[in-house]
Structure 1
């Protein structure tokens, strides 16, 4: 190895070591569920630790009953895990090979074990009117997206925010 290459390698060592010093702080990165308007404004921001879940709920536009698509944070990714549908109304139904259908005991059904990763850990939604009332539901919170952005497109995403390294 030439002495100039060795010298330049030694010059990079302090920079590399300071980058590595950030790794433990970055490991504490927080993951959030976010709803973004088209202009990038954050409409909803909710901590979403590994293993936690949420549902997107709405009232079916024809039949009016509530429908749920439920997701979970799994190993840094957004995964559709189950869906609740109170009946086989327009646009609803179980697709063979995509989860398994079980009764909810009240005339409707759950599609369980869908376990479908959401591409890019985000999806677009055109939020419905207050009659449709798209809602984001977590264990601790229910937010009406229709009150925030009726008739507007939004992006729902699972987003890692690196922890800020302390000096």
Structure 2
């Protein structure tokens, strides 16, 4: 007995592609889109900025896990003002250069989105996805921006 699986297989492939897709979308309060970057399931991105007092780069890195935004790690080059590890929230390890990583945070972001007001000038909040970097500070300094992972399948 021969069965035609072509249509069913195509539907399954489309469903798998849809479930794995995701876009990281940055919008202003008025709904204007600043950036849209593809982030497939399992891939990640980082928000980078320079500490306003010390000037070194700080990063918070996220992953698309099954269509949901999850904070996975942070890099903090120093224990400067406002930077610290919260015990029980990931594990702190040395970066070998005087700073530290907080790994295994694995914290889902409520609603798969959050609001950020990018700092001006030297603070330079940036969004990095793979080889692509978007300066949120240049695009919308001090604006209320929503960073959201869209395309999630619930």
For normalisation by structure 2, the TM-score amounts to 0.86
Counterparts of 2:121 and 2:147 in 1: how far apart (Å)?
A: 18
- Return the match for 1:106 from 77, 80, 97: 97
Secondary structure at the aligned position of 2:139 is classed as helix
Name the counterpart of 1:52: 43
Secondary structure at the aligned position of 2:111 is classed as helix
Name the counterpart of 2:29: 38
Report the CA distance between 1:85 and its aligned residue: 0.2
Name the counterpart of 1:152: 143
Does structure 1 conserve the Cα–Cα contact (< 8 Å) formed by 2:114 and 2:146?
yes
Secondary structure at the aligned position of 1:82 is classed as strand
Runs of at least 4 residues off by over 3 Å: 23-26
Secondary structure at the aligned position of 2:80 is classed as coil
Counterparts of 2:143 and 2:121 in 1: how far apart (Å)?
A: 12
- Aligned-residue Cα RMSD (Å) equals 1.6
- Return the match for 2:69 from 78, 82, 86: 78
Does structure 1 conserve the Cα–Cα contact (< 8 Å) formed by 2:39 and 2:129?
no
Q: Give the number of equivalent residue pairs.
A: 140
Secondary structure at the aligned position of 1:93 is classed as coil
Secondary structure at the aligned position of 2:124 is classed as coil
1:62 aligns with 2:79: no
Report the CA distance between 1:63 and its aligned residue: 0.9
1:127 aligns with 2:115: no
Report the CA distance between 1:26 and its aligned residue: 6.3
For normalisation by structure 1, the TM-score amounts to 0.80
1:92 aligns with 2:83: yes
Report the CA distance between 1:131 and its aligned residue: 1.3
